[in-house]
Structure 1
Amino acid sequence: MPPIPQERTHVNLASTRAFIFDLDGCVYNGNTLLPGVDAVLAALRGSGRRVAFLTNNSREGSDELLAKLRRLGIAAESEEIVSAAEVTGPFVRERYGPSRVLAVGSPRFLRLMAGAGHAVLPLEEYRRAQVVAMGHDESFAYEKLVALSRAVRAGSAFVAVNRDPRLPVEAGEFYPGCGAIVEAVAVAAGVEPVVVGKPEPHLFRVALERLGIERQAAVMVGDSLHSDIRGAQAVGLHTIWIAPPDADAGAVRPDLTIRAYAELLPAL
């Protein structure tokens, strides 16, 4: 397979102060590290650069993601991980205040919403909901679709952790993602959601605030042209695209395109 031309522009990676990495499909697929990512992260830390991990994950908090990174041999700290699941509760509180929330998703996501000061309603109390909040829900069923779409149609604010249609796992396989069930509610209710995660700007801004670095001094590393590259460019970040096999960037122009992390090491 021929190499992808590297779209270097005005970014100087050797002087870039912070690198923000997507997780799924970028640091790991399922429970398998991408080849060479450990060497890149070690080189960055060894040269004093800041590292953060930015994920649309709607099921887990930063502590669970940290435990997974460490299991896979990646050194990290909890404050370096920005999880969309963890950010959604504070996002809803800032925008709508402490609310009665009809939430679906993982048990951890529901606890995170309650921990942010919201009253999480049982499904049968959907008429009382002020906000509907949706994460990835492996037990999603028709009765949930009915309650969520009726609540949104009746005027509840509609918030989605992300709108990713698929979750990549090993061997090129995937699971339907949060976006797949969000779409069902959006179609049934006739209302589009407010999205917390990438490619919307909120998650990127949280990462930059946590790093304490201006956007011009940071670069986003990701595999999704839509969520990672276009989203990062919209807030003024430099970008590195880890191109999946046979992928074509089309009209999108990352600052640098690579197929493997080994191509990135010499530029650091």
Structure 2
Amino acid sequence: MTSHILPRLAAVDGVMFDVDGCLVISDGPAGQGGTALPGAAELIDQVRASGRAVCVFTNGTAQAPEDIAAHLRGLGLDVADAEVLTPSVAAARALRERYGDQPVLAYGGDGVIPVLRDHGVNVIDPAEHASGAATGAAAILVGWDTEFTKPKLQFAAEAILAGAALYCTSDAPAFASRDRLNVGVSGFIVAGLSHVTGRPWTVLGKPSPFALETVCWALGTTPEHTLVLGDDVYLESGMARRGGAVAGIVLTGITTPEKLADTPASDMPDLVVASMTELAALLADADGLRMPVSSGSER
């Protein structure tokens, strides 16, 4: 398997790392309270030294990107604030493109609403409106909101029935953890809203095309020159395969050899490694095939 993948790795100019189960193992979202996995810090350094760009994309929206970056640095991972992406970043770019300055109703904490506003999304305050229908919201975005109460359900449902499109940061049912099941929140909420309103939702985080486009934007790459590395065949490998990027899975998180055996061909990764150390060795071999790019030349 490794011989055919080396030319593709040699052509990679940017690497996206997932957090939970890939860089970090923990019992909280975005690596909270966790530890860095063996070889993760060294691999990030190696990727940088090879001249490739780095970004980190976690599907969690409980924290703002800069807070996640600070936490990762505290675990010994050299990650800058601007290199951390979340579904809120992808959502902000997608919502601005689709709706411009039209009002958006958003649910979530520090990892959602401030991020949207920082990227120019017109996020409205529900307290200023008598009902969800009265907001005139063009869209609703649901993120990590552990206090999504019945009044919020009522308000959001009214906005949806009045015409607002329903979006979700992530509808993944769970994410990798050390000892126990870590359940998702935003997917649970939008499933309830869809049940109440009969309207579908659209995911803007992984594995959506919006997420991969945001990854390439952050890395300054195109999909074919991007390695998407994670531990989930649906979120990371499926996204990469559908978008034309190189799909890599590390078996330190949610994916097992048994799960790979049941993975549909459309989501099957191009590369499977048991650890970051194994991937580091493959990238070192691939570096021997890389050709330096002179200034002004095109790939």
Q: Compute the displacement of 1:95 (Å).
A: 0.5
Identify the match of residue 227 of structure 2 among 219, 224, 233. 219
Identify the residue that residue 126 of structure 1 maps to in structure 2: 132
* Residues 90 and 210, structure 2, Cα contact 8 Å, conserved in 1: no
- 1:177-200 Cα deviation digits (max 9, x unpaired): 321212111121111112211111
Contact 1:24 1:168 in 2 (8 A): yes
Specify which of 51, 62, 65 is matched with residue 65 of structure 2.
62
Q: Deviations over 1:99-136 (max 9, x none)?
A: 32222111442223334241423265312231211101
Secondary structure in 1 aligned to 2:57?
Answer: strand
8 Å contact from structure 2 (residues 157, 196) kept in 1: yes
Q: Is the 8 A contact 1:20 1:51 kept in 2?
A: yes
1:251 to 264, 285, 288: 264
Q: Does 1:21 align with 2:17?
A: yes
Unmatched segments (≥5 aa) in structure 2: 27-33, 284-299
- Alpha-carbon RMSD across the aligned residues, in angstroms, is 2.1
What does 1:1-268 correspond to in 2, within 5 Å? 9-12=4-7, 13-30=9-26, 31-115=34-118, 116-122=120-126, 124-129=130-135, 130=137, 131-243=139-251, 244-249=255-260, 250-252=263-265, 253-268=268-283
Over 3 Å counting, the alpha-carbon distance change for 1:90 and 1:214 in structure 2 is closer
Verify the 8 A CA contact 1:242 1:259 in the aligned structure 2.
yes
Report SS of the residue matched to 1:257.
strand
CA distance 1:215–1:35, change in 2 (3 Å) = same
Amino acid at match of 1:120: I
Q: Deviations over 1:139-171 (max 9, x none)?
A: 122222222123212211212112122243332
Is this contact kept in 1: 2:175–2:184, CA < 8 A? Answer: yes
Preserved CA contact (<8 Å) 1:101 1:121: no
The secondary structure found in structure 1 opposite 2:132 is helix
Looking at structure 1, the residues matched to 264 and 111 of structure 2 have their Cα atoms a distance apart, in angstroms, of: 38
Distance 1:191 1:248, change over 3 A: same
Q: Percent identity?
A: 25
Query: What TM-score, normalized by structure 1, do the two folds share?
Result: 0.88
Work out the CA distance in 1 between the residues paired with 2:196 and 2:3.
Answer: 44
Larger deviation: 9-18 or 57-66? 9-18
Unaligned runs of 5+ in 1: 1-5
1:246/1:55 Cα in 2 relative to 1: closer, same or farther (>3 Å)? same
| Number of aligned positions between the proteins | 263
What TM-score do you get using the length of structure 2 for normalisation? Answer: 0.80
Structure 1 counterpart of 2:82, one-letter code: E
Q: Partners in 1 of 2:164 and 2:203 — Cα distance?
A: 15
Cα distance in 2 for residues equivalent to 1:176 and 1:88: 18
8 Å CA contact 1:161, 1:196 repeated in 2: yes
One-letter identity of the residue aligned with 1:121: D
